[in-house]
Amino acid sequence: LLDALPDRAFAPIPGMPPELSDLPGGCAFAPRCPRATDLCATRPEPAAGVACHHPEHPRA
């Protein structure tokens, strides 16, 4: 069953993750994300289907 999964290489995000007790107002990944823009200071609408303003693959 596991062999049916597509091959995916997960690349780590460089840098240190934020403190869970002091998360930023928008995306917690924005300070370390190469695709981050000013829009990342806000949270995406829940109906968007993804928790990113700049997803690589918006819908699966």
Which pLDDT band, with edges at 50, 70 and 90, does 58 fall under? low
Average pLDDT over residues 33-58: 77
CA distance 13 to 32: 7
Give residue 11's pLDDT. Answer: 74
Instruction: Locate 34 and state its tokens.
Output: 């190469």
What's this model's pTM, rounded to 2 decimal places? 0.57
Instruction: Locate 27 and state its tokens.
Output: 């995306």
pLDDT tops 60 at residue 60: no
Phi, psi at 48, each rounded to 5°: -65, -20
CA distance 24 to 5: 34
Spans of all domains in the chain: 26-60
Which pLDDT band, with edges at 50, 70 and 90, does 57 fall under? low
Q: Give the chain's radius of gyration (CA, Å).
A: 14
pLDDT tens across 28-44, in order? 888 888 888 998 888 77
